[in-house]
Amino acid sequence: MTSPLPPSPHASLLDLAPVVPVVVVADAADAVPLARALVAGGLPAIEVTLRTPAALDAIRAIAAEVPDAVVGAGTVLTPDQVAESVAAGARFLVSPGWTDVLLGAMKASGVPFLPGVSTTSEVVALLERGVREMKFFPAQAAGGTAYLKSLAGPLPQARFCPTGGIGPECAPDYLALPNVGCVGGSWMLPAEAITARDWRRVEELAREASALRR
């Protein structure tokens, strides 16, 4: 049974799980067992970043072979990447920032998306364009929980998935904020576990992350 995902690009991505794993796949052969471990640990929404040549193949494999995963594409920077990601099976899109051209392509894609912001003006500009759910990046460097807390008063309609420098120690502080639906991170994917293909370890860390609820 396929995991639920809001069908509309205006519906929420932020309530599937408290943590969205941010995955960099060097070898597409690792994509399916990695995704299965994350799903088994309670993290169905998986962001595969377009930082490696294997990324699109990884998205295709997860989409085809791990039906309980909600796989998306991250580090989306161009309209071409939007089209390629959706064609590969991505069910959501995440960008580190946005322009009107990129935003238009993401809106036209037919899948949910999270454009990246790091300033109040960027948040206001997206609200003007009808976008209320965003990626806050780089979260720790851009002001962390204190910054997001300060936005909740004047801009309560904006909701965020903070990503960038977040680990298990500070994730609960973000998740306690009223304008944060989930966080993104990669701490459940330690390099040594991926190199060793220790999917049981990944599943254990994913299970711990999935328990980080408000």
What is the full DSSP assignment across 191-202? Answer: HHHHHHT-HHHH
List 128, 133, 135, 192, catalytic entry:
135
Beta-bridge partner residues of 204: none
| Beta carbons of 69 and 35 less than 8 angstroms apart | yes
Other CB atoms within 10 A of residue 212 CB? 17
135 a catalytic residue = yes
List 47, 65, 107, 192, catalytic entry:
47
| Beta carbons of 48 and 55 less than 8 angstroms apart | yes
Phi/psi class of residue 175: alpha, beta or left (left: φ > 0; alpha: ψ in -120 to 50)? alpha
Q: Which residues are catalytic?
A: 47, 135
